[in-house]
Amino acid sequence: MGAVESNAACEPLSEPLSRVMTLLGKRWAGMILSALMQGPLRFNEIKRSVPGVSDRILTERLGEFQELQLVSRAVTETSPLRVEYSLTDRGEAMRPAITELTHWAEQNLSPSA
């Protein structure tokens, strides 16, 4: 059977959808955000939650998320310093979308699907 022809012009993808897919398409981005949905975590706790992520990539992603105001970095003046990362309200607003993507993946991308 051949391809279906359409007279309708293809609409470009929306700019917001393009931006979020670019963000989540970056290596480890979705996994790091998912880890932070557990609550505030220190750098090494995030690293343990996302096996395989390098220090360099984790540092880059956390910096990008801070610039986008998705993640905040809190420093507690103790000895040694305690640094925790947590989702901001803006980052928390992604929870329903990431939860739905997770459900979809479980149903459609599992080995038995």
For the record, the structure tokens of 57 come out as: 């990539």
Task: Give the residue ranges of DSSP H helices in the chain.
Answer: 15-25, 29-36, 43-49, 55-67, 89-92, 95-108
Q: What is the mean pLDDT of residues 23-50?
A: 96
* Cis preceding-peptide flag for 80 (omega within 30 of 0): yes
Q: Which tens digit of pLDDT belongs to each residue from 48-91?
A: 999 999 999 999 999 999 999 999 999 999 888 999 999 999 99
Q: What are phi and psi of 72, to 5 degrees?
A: -115, 155
Integer Cα distance of 86 and 72 in angstroms: 5
The fold of the 27-108 domain, in CATH, is Arc Repressor Mutant, subunit A (1.10.10)
